[in-house]
């Protein structure tokens, strides 16, 4: 699926500096998205994505022949995130909730809108709830869920990125899913 | 999402009937942010990057580190001297005493180098359990390499064993530092266990070298005096993982 990126990384590991642009172009949005889902802060996610590329650059000589660059880069991005988490207080590095996106505000807004706008606000409210619940999850569950749900990795790929067994990854993702589902279910029941 | 539908990502065990497709029930909370971010994607100038080793230079560095580790062990052996009974030992005792730790070191290195099918890293539990092989092999080999001499467990014996622990630890330290440099930023995942595996390999290598110096007989001495290096190396590796993590 990402054969062209694997080839570019292969060339880069051998010293072809020009391949870096290809890698950056192909991986940057994905890495930023992954990091944003982990940390919830767009500015921090961008910084960590840059740091990830720097780490990839420094580690390029250790990129195994025939390896897949996407899981490799996601694993490095995860390391960058975990290091940032250790450096800062947990509150600063975990998912913050923007003040202007309070779910209650969104509900009030919905009351004064047309049906289409109402749907939009309901969707935003759900997204905000997911964001909050995701932030409250233990990191191990959050990263497993993000890799399987949003990065669309297979369980085996996610297990490699996380350095865990496939069983452990399934269990973590399942627990995260249950927590998120429970919150959404509760919201829908309240809305009735 | 249907809130009444049965939670179906997996059964409570989260394993046997896991269906990742059902995770799509959960909406993406950052969909809007990605659209905004795409407009302001930062650029990255490759010319501004610091120099970094290529694959060929990493390979070269690892061979140099291995050669330096060998020189280090020989330098220590030349300082402390070879065992006096080397000529009178049976060939089996010498070869098992040397080969078993070297095979253990190779197995531990294989565990460290195993990067899984996608080149990222094998799961920590797998690497950890694989590490039992070299440790077990070393322990088993002591039955053969240690002679059948009856040993008095007096104060002198324990002092000598402690000296061997210190000696093998010193013999482990050099190769482990070299290996940490050679494997700097090498492990994207499972760095702690893979670095511990490197530590075990260095400890086993030191145990082999110590076999050429130490003439104290007995399985207990081999296990404690020489084998401790595998454990010390493994623990040191866990600490040094911060340098080998990509």
Long-range Cβ pairs for the range A134-137 (8 Å, 24+): A134/A37, A134/A40, A134/A95, A134/A176, A134/A180, A134/B29, A135/A40, A135/A94, A135/A95, A135/A96, A135/A97, A136/A179, A137/A176, A137/A179
Q: Are B236 and B172 in contact (CB under 8 A)?
A: yes
Q: Is B53's Cβ below 8 Å from some Cβ in A?
A: yes
Q: Identify the closest residue of chain A to B127 by CA–CA distance.
A: A163
The topology under which CATH files domain A1-96 is Rna Polymerase Sigma Factor; Chain: A (1.10.1740)
Four-residue CA torsion sign, A82, A165, B20, A9? positive
Nearest to B190 among A14, A67, A163 (CB): A163
Secondary structure letter of residue B137 according to DSSP:
H
pTM score of the predicted model? 0.83
How far, in Å, CA of B239 to CA of A15, rounded? 31
> What six digits make up the tokens of B187?
């492990």
Asked whether the beta carbons of residue A145 and residue B24 sit closer than 8 angstroms, the reply is no
Nearest-neighbour CA in chain A from B49: distance (Å): 7
Q: Where are the domains of chain B?
A: 57-244
> How many Cβ atoms from other residues are within 10 Å of residue B42's Cβ?
13
CA–CA distances in Å: residue B72 to residues B63, B66, B78, B86: 14, 10, 10, 21
Cβ neighbours of A63 in B, within 8 Å: 55, 119
Q: Which among B3, B29, B50 has the least Cβ separation from residue A128?
A: B29
Taking the C-alpha atoms of residue A180 and residue A174, their distance in angstroms, rounded to an integer, is 10
Distance, CA of A133 to chain centre: 14
Domain extents in chain A: 1-96, 137-192
User: Does domain A137-192 match CATH 1.10.10.10?
Assistant: yes
Choose among A79, A167, A171: nearest Cβ to B246: A79
C-alpha torsion sign, points A42, A45, A51, A54: negative
What is the separation, in whole angstroms, between the first and last Cα of chain A? Answer: 43
Contacts of B185 in chain A (CB under 8 A): 55, 58-59, 62
pLDDT tens over chain B, length 246 residues: 444 444 445 454 555 567 777 777 788 877 766 655 554 555 667 677 788 899 999 999 999 999 999 999 999 999 999 888 887 877 777 777 889 999 999 999 999 988 888 889 888 999 999 999 999 999 988 877 665 555 666 888 889 999 999 999 999 999 999 999 999 999 999 999 999 999 999 999 999 999 999 888 788 888 899 999 999 999 999 999 999 999
CB–CB of B23/A173 below 8 Å? yes
Per DSSP (E only), the strands in chain B are none
């Amino acid at each position: 699926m990402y054969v062209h990126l694997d080839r570019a990384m292969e060339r880069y590991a051998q010293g072809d500096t020009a391949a870096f642009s290809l890698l950056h172009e192909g991986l940057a949005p994905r890495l930023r998205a992954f990091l944003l889902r982990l940390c919830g802060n767009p500015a921090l996610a961008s910084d960590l994505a840059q740091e990830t590329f720097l780490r990839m650059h420094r580690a390029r000589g250790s990129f195994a022949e025939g390896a897949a660059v996407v899981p490799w880069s996601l694993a490095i991005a995860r390391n960058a995130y975990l290091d940032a988490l250790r450096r800062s207080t947990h509150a600063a590095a975990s998912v913050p909730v923007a003040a202007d996106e309070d779910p209650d505000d969104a509900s009030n807004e919905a009351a004064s809108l047309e049906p289409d706008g109402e749907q939009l606000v309901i969707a935003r409210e759900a997204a905000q709830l997911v964001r909050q619940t995701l932030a409250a999850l233990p990191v191990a569950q959050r990263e497993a869920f993000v890799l399987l749900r949003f990065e669309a990795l297979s369980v085996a790929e996610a297990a490699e990125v996380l350095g865990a067994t496939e069983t452990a990854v399934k269990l973590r993702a399942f627990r995260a899913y249950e927590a998120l589902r429970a919150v959404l279910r509760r919201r829908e029941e309240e809305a009735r | 999402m249907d809130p009444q539908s049965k939670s179906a990502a997996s059964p409570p065990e989260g394993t046997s009937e896991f269906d990742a497709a059902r995770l799509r029930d959960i909406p993406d909370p950052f969909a809007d942010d990605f659209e905004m971010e795409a407009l302001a994607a930062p650029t990255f100038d490759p010319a501004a990057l610091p120099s970094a080793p290529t694959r060929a230079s990493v390979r070269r560095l690892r061979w140099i580190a291995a050669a330096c580790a060998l020189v280090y062990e020989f330098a220590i052996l030349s300082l402390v001297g070879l065992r006096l009974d080397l000529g009178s030992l049976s060939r089996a005792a010498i070869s098992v005493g040397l080969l078993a730790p070297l095979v253990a070191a190779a197995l531990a290195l294989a565990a460290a180098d195993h990067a899984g099918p996608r080149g990222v890293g094998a799961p920590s539990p797998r690497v950890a359990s694989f590490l039992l092989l070299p440790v077990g092999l070393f322990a088993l080999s002591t039955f053969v390499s240690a002679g059948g001499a009856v040993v008095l467990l007096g104060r002198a014996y324990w002092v000598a064993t402690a000296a061997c622990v210190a000696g093998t630890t010193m013999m482990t330290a050099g190769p482990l530092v070299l290996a940490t440099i050679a494997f700097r930023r090498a492990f994207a995942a499972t760095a702690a266990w893979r670095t511990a595996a490197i530590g075990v390999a260095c400890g086993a290598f030191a145990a082999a070298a110590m076999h050429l110096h130490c003439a104290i007989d007995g399985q207990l001495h081999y296990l404690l005096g020489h084998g401790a290096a595998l454990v010390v190396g493994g623990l040191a590796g866990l600490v040094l993982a911060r340098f080998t993590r990509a």
